[in-house]
Amino acid sequence: MTGQFSGKTVMVTGAGGQIARATVKHFADEGANLVLVDIAHEPLDACLQSLGRIEGAAITVVSNLNDPESVDDMVKQAEKTFATIDILVHTAGGFAAGKPVHETSVTVFDQQMMLNARILFITLGRVAKHMVENNVKGSMVAILARTGLAGAKNTAAYAASKAAGQRIVQSMALELKEHDIRVNGIMPSTADTSANRSAMPNANFDNWVTPKQIANTIAFLASDAASAISGDSLAVYNKA
């Protein structure tokens, strides 16, 4: 590893998930300070323990990303320890599918919009405010989905929420350009996680993208090598 993120503070939401853990490991190996965020202590403790010895420092923060005040407190805790947040990786979100619109409860739609659009709007917005006020030339990367590019059978609520998330990313990239803050997304195909293997046991896992591949792409977008990229949504596909 090159230590290219040494001295940088990286905040990762949804830190207990497999994709987030791979991402946290990548940044930890590169010397970053870490702010690990999730809805409960247990996944955060597990994430921290999985890292072992790290080069930088790390803190865990329990936060309800659907609550603006909780997100503001999350930012304040990061400021108290590390002064600034240089990079935000937003992996928190959710998936629901299986029925056509005419058989789906509106509750499913509301939940998907909350998980994949509202909390993205709140979290990226609050961290962007911190970056602007502290003159941080930062980077934010959000997990989107290729489903957000077009409609998909039996996944209307999810597709709509991911499309909304992509528009938020694109809009913020334009708004923050003058502050030298970059905002991007990545669109993975099916990720090779234990949850997906359990849900789709008969699938060909060789066709799925790995958490490490996703983490590598996130790190690239957060790095100086991607300094000319903002407002984009990079596809991270294998064969699926």
- Structural domain includes residue 4: no
- Structural domain includes residue 152: yes
Q: What token pair was written down for 193?
A: 């996680």
Look at the chain and report how many structural domains it folds into.
Answer: 1
Spatial CB neighbours of 7, under 8 Å, sequence gap ≥ 6: 31, 33
- Structural domain includes residue 3: no
- Structural domain includes residue 42: yes
User: What is the C-alpha separation between 11 and 183, in angstroms, rounded?
Assistant: 14
Q: Say which residue the tokens 């990545």 belong to.
A: 186
- Structural domain includes residue 2: no
The closest alpha carbon to 55, from 85, 83, 16, 27, belongs to: 27
For every one of its 240 residues, what pLDDT tens digit does the chain have, with 9 covering 90 and above?
A: 568 899 999 999 999 998 899 999 999 999 999 999 999 999 998 888 888 777 779 999 999 999 999 999 999 999 999 999 999 999 999 988 889 999 999 999 999 999 999 999 999 999 999 999 999 999 999 999 988 888 889 999 999 999 999 999 999 999 999 999 999 999 987 777 777 887 788 888 888 888 899 999 999 999 999 999 999 999 998 765
**The pLDDT value given to residue 1:** 56
User: What is the C-alpha separation between 4 and 2, in angstroms, rounded?
Assistant: 5
Q: How many residues does the chain have?
A: 240
Alpha-helical regions (H) of the chain: 18-29, 41-51, 68-82, 106-113, 119-133, 156-176, 194-199, 211-222
Spatial CB neighbours of 17, under 8 Å, sequence gap ≥ 6: 43, 91, 193
Q: Say which residue the tokens 């990061």 belong to.
A: 78
- Structural domain includes residue 36: yes
Provide the domain limits for residue 187: 9-236
The closest alpha carbon to 195, from 43, 29, 25, belongs to: 43
Q: What residue type is assigned to position 53 of the chain?
A: R
Q: What token pair was written down for 57?
A: 């420092």
- Structural domain includes residue 149: yes
Q: What token pair was written down for 206?
A: 């060789």
User: What is the C-alpha separation between 57 and 12, in angstroms, rounded?
Assistant: 14
**The pLDDT value given to residue 40:** 95
Do residues 111 and 94 touch, judged by C-beta distance below 8 A?
Answer: yes
- Structural domain includes residue 1: no
pTM for this prediction: 0.93
Output the CA torsion sign for 37, 40, 42, 43: negative
Q: What token pair was written down for 29?
A: 């190996």
Do residues 222 and 10 touch, judged by C-beta distance below 8 A?
Answer: yes
Q: What is the CATH number of the domain that holds 223?
A: 3.40.50.720
CA-to-CA separations, 116 to 4, 29, 55, 152, 169, in angstroms, rounded: 30, 29, 32, 16, 12
